[in-house]
Chain A
């Protein structure tokens, strides 16, 4: 939330996407977060993903709640409408926006306080409702804006900056999202842009509730020894199951891969998710196996990252409701108001 504008002047040699936009056209205002904050890396990854996907900025709506993470929509996609709503309630606002106009892309940005504490209910219900959205939690395990309280995703036994040990169990939003029916589930790390950008691209291209848990260390309050969300800890314990490429339309495979190394998942809309396997036998279309794998590795203290689950034939809330393809906010008086003749019939029925 800043009033510093970035200069609009671009270097002429900046690469442009198919729409003629440079990456700078997808940026927002200057971040007011702490220098080195993981969230700024995620904002940069969102900019990169939207640029690479040739998304028209005004066709995307960015929504958030309250917290450090929820401030970030001001720092990317400045040409998009944004809505910084109330604490923990981004999912319902996004759901309403999506109902009003099914044609836009909805990107929800939230944090671990916003989604795992006050907003756990709305997080859960927006996913089980099947809202077509990309829901990103910028997960740092700590309340940054209010200076360092534990959040609900802090692991039991992890230590605060002042050395206090967290005695409460941590919530794993990825495990919840899987159970609740998210049809695209991934985890990544703000410090691994190569992994993160394709995961965001996949989420933005997915038709259905897509959830990404992005571990994003808080440099001010949760980046010390004893924390399980610090840069060092995540780097040491990051266990990626695959590397993802998102391909819109069919393009030939250019690189040579060893047999069995590559797995392609073609989604309902024709986009292809090309996965390079890192963990043997990990099948991201098998939800039960994915859930088991996550639990096993978690018990070993590892943080499993990558595209963890995808249902290529996912449906969304509009499919389930049977809503017209015309966005509801574009229906005319004639399409909405039944008129006098219908009212006369209703009156007759009430006599």
Chain B
């Protein structure tokens, strides 16, 4: 009840009416005895329970003027496969609507018919990411069920059945439900080593289990795509709630010095784009690439512009030596940086009868893939891996920057599912006189433009959905940003972040700063 703004409305089941003392005085309270209505109309306990919701919608339709025909149409769509339920739900709807018409007056708010949808599509991020994997050319999927990522593998299965299965049933893909997350990532690494585009999808606990293999992917330089649909952690945490708390876990997964590429989609539209892009990046960089969804993006349906694809686009397999190149006597050193970008060439097993074979290992090696524990060989390799990571920063999607209406030295940095709420909050804050430049980070490692944005501002609010300010930590670690410049705005109770929260938190911070300025007479 605390959430309701003054002057707002509380609508409740008044079968057992609550005394007025239980309610706030500054809001309107409307009671409808939903339980009593349904108990009278239905005999079966199950029906009494199930039809309460639609009865509620009926009452609401009278109060705020929802056209019954619209509801009828929606019911027909929803229960297209179970037509029996259409009439039953419509009856319950009318039950509530009739009761409200007899006992209550419309509250004066009138729902307006609008078409703000346009050609947009309604889709969940997990399905979009799965479709991205299909378009990105993924052929091997190995996964282990875990909320909230399960529907990604299921969507991939569904799309592959439709789009990658020949009329005779032959499949241009292979999906294996592993015995656990370790086997799943193992299968992905094996397939990536052998030249197939492979992925797994999981959530935080799965990433914890996959750490050893992620390190192998990094050190032995094997492509692997991992979709991490983040949920509330740590441990089992809040499996059915959303959070952005796997950022550090993924960025530095596994023992020893490791760093990984992360893509940070903001909505299902970007899940599709980045879901496909991840496979090109992973092949080009020959390393693990994470696509960091969260439960809010992954499992909720979002309204986004239609998916787009360019038919001239071809799968980019990166630096792979062909049999012809080997036959022509081209130099091949598996861990040799021939182009100065830190990315070596690789061969697929079975390429050439006598050339190009090498031994892949998680142990230290020299440039020719021979086992070596010499300090110079080890360091040479680690430096090249770092160079490759710097190359990655030039290949990943850059940030999206939204300038304020007026020139300002205040900025906000955010990512992922905070995006929609942030758009709304920035508009309101602008109306209130707070001018803020906004930057949505879309990948790790950060490109130069991310640091340029931060350095162009006196104060930066870093907004994220975790307790420990993990994006802020990454900026400090990788960009040597002065912590004093970065103020954390954190929302991590497991519910999706809201514009109201952002307006309040960012607004308070900026007001406090203004007050400090006045005291110290700074401008």
Contact = CB atoms under 8 A, between A and B. Distances in A.
B134 interface: yes
B216 interface: yes
A58 B183 contact: no
Q: Which 6 A-B pairs have the closest CB atoms?
A: A96-B190, A92-B186, A100-B196, A81-B349, A329-B195, A100-B194
Interface string B337-380: 00000000001111111100111111100000011100000000
B72 to A, nearest CB: 19
Contacts of B139: 99-100, 328-329, 331, 336
B124 to A, nearest CB: 10
Contact of A58 (B140, B185, B349): B349
Nearest to A339: B311
23 contacts: A58-B352, A61-B350, A80-B357, A81-B357, A85-B189, A92-B185, A93-B190, A99-B191, A100-B195, A101-B348, A121-B180, A318-B174, A322-B171, A324-B171, A328-B191, A332-B315, A333-B137, A336-B172, A338-B135, A346-B131, A347-B307, A351-B117, A351-B120
Contact of A347 (B121, B169, B195, B351): B121
Interface string A68-88: 000001100011111111100
A3 B370 contact: yes
| Dominant secondary structure at the B interface | loop
B325 to A, nearest CB: 15
Nearest to B224: A96
Contacts of B184: 92
B174 A321 contact: yes
B357 A96 contact: no
B63 interface: no
Contact of A122 (B174, B183, B315): B183
Interface string B486-509: 000000000000000000000000
Given A1-B363, A82-B359, A321-B171, A329 B196 contact: yes
B374 to A, nearest CB: 9
A347 B269 CA distance: 11
Interface in B444-495: none
Contacts of A98: 190
Given A329-B195, A340-B311, A95 B187 contact: yes
Interface of B: 117, 119-123, 131, 134-137, 139-140, 142, 163-164, 166, 169-176, 178-180, 182-196, 198, 212-213, 216, 306-311, 313-315, 347-354, 357-363, 370-372
A78 B363 CA distance: 18
A151 to B, nearest CB: 20
A338 to B, nearest CB: 4
Q: Which of B169, B173, B194, B371 has the most CB of A within 10 A?
A: B194
Given A322-B171, A351-B122, A1 B371 contact: yes
A339 B54 CA distance: 41
B357 A92 contact: no
A129 interface: yes
Interface string A42-62: 000000000000001111010
A161 interface: no
A92 B360 contact: no
A347 B137 contact: no
A85 B354 contact: no
A88 B386 CA distance: 29
Contacts of A3: 370-372
A351 B171 contact: no
Contacts of A325: 170
A8 to B, nearest CB: 11
B307 A343 contact: yes
A350 B131 CA distance: 13
A335 B309 contact: no
B172 A324 contact: yes
B186 A122 contact: yes
Interface in A307-339: 317-318, 321-325, 328-329, 331-333, 335-339
Contacts of B122: 350-351
Given A84-B359, A323-B171, A324-B171, A99 B186 contact: no
Nearest to B120: A351
Nearest to A326: B172
A18 B211 CA distance: 45
A97 interface: yes
B186 A95 contact: yes
B367 to A, nearest CB: 13
A129 B371 contact: no
A103 B212 contact: no
A218 interface: no
A277 interface: no
B191 A100 contact: yes
B190 A58 contact: no
A109 B72 CA distance: 64
A79 B359 CA distance: 10
A94 interface: yes
